[in-house]
Amino acid sequence: MARPAALSALIAAHHGRVPPRTGSLIVSVFGALVLPAGEALRLSDLQEWLAALEIEPGLVRTALSRLVNDGTLLRERDGKAALYRLSARALKDFEAAGDLIFGRLLPRPTGDLDLLVIEDTGRRATLRAELVAMGFVPLAANLLIRSAWAGRAAPEVRGCLALSLHANADLALRARELWPLEQLAGGYRAVIAHAEAVQGGAFTPSEARLARLMLVHEFRRIVLRDPFLPEAVLPRDWPGSPARLAFDAALRHVQG
């Protein structure tokens, strides 16, 4: 029996990327299917799910080895069966990502932006790397900026001066240069198209599980890169909120 067109489109979207990132998809498996049901995943189950998504076993083994080596996953044995679970470090990161993906705790832009001026120029490269990891983007050689969110204080970084700027029209003109807004908007619109197709489809339980996985994977790829800027800085008709509404509705549809 042919699988639903909506599921085929989600699978094609994954394979259409060059290269398709099997490791990233396995990470989505844990967020979409494993953590809601338990902590450990049997290798045989993972291979079955990914085979249904047309992913070769060799790619799965290679991706799992990399995830174990980088500390994301732990490998265990249960008799002859191989099990994988998230490391303690990765579990903490997954919980924070899950809050964002599934809407449990969303950023609330205040309308301002956090600015950090690097005063210790001798440590510029180190400080810039540290600040980029916190979500800042470079505005100038010694100046970095990010969206201010309610409940998230500007970091106190030794060697930097913290300032605040209210979002304005001048910054809106620079926003496309500072953040990949067109790419993110395109990703959100693709999520909307996939989600609407899923809502219009009929799925067996196994197909619904795969559709949920691929929906989460597609949305995760975009929402975790969204800087959640103030509305005054975003382009008109920003598709972030419509994408979340469509994603949530599609998840309800495949959860039964």
Which pLDDT score, from 0 to 100, does residue 17 have?
84
Which pLDDT score, from 0 to 100, does residue 80 have?
83
Report how far apart the first and last C-alpha atoms of the chain are (Å, whole number). Answer: 21
Tens of pLDDT, residues 200-255: 999 999 999 999 999 999 999 999 999 999 999 999 899 999 999 999 999 999 98
Which pLDDT score, from 0 to 100, does residue 135 have?
94
Tens of pLDDT, residues 144-169: 999 999 999 888 899 999 999 999 88
Tens of pLDDT, residues 165-210: 999 888 888 999 999 999 999 999 999 999 999 999 999 999 999 9
Taking residues 50-75, what's their average pLDDT?
A: 92
What is the DSSP secondary-structure string of 112-171? Answer: EEEEEEE--GGGHHHHHHHHHHTT-EEEETTEEEEEEETT-PPP--TTEEEEEEE--HHH
- Given a cut of 80, whether residue 36 has pLDDT beyond it is no
Which pLDDT score, from 0 to 100, does residue 255 have?
85
Which pLDDT score, from 0 to 100, does residue 124 have?
94
Lowest mean pLDDT among 34-38, 86-90, 227-231: 34-38
Q: What stretches of the chain show up as alpha helix (H) in DSSP?
A: 5-15, 22-29, 43-52, 57-69, 88-101, 124-133, 169-178, 181-199, 205-223, 240-255
DSSP assignment, residue 108? -
- Given a cut of 80, whether residue 256 has pLDDT beyond it is no
Which pLDDT score, from 0 to 100, does residue 168 have?
87
Which pLDDT score, from 0 to 100, does residue 95 have?
87
Cis ω before 242 (30° cut-off from 0): no
DSSP assignment, residue 30? I
- Given a cut of 90, whether residue 8 has pLDDT beyond it is yes
Tens of pLDDT, residues 106-137: 999 999 999 999 999 999 999 999 999 999 99
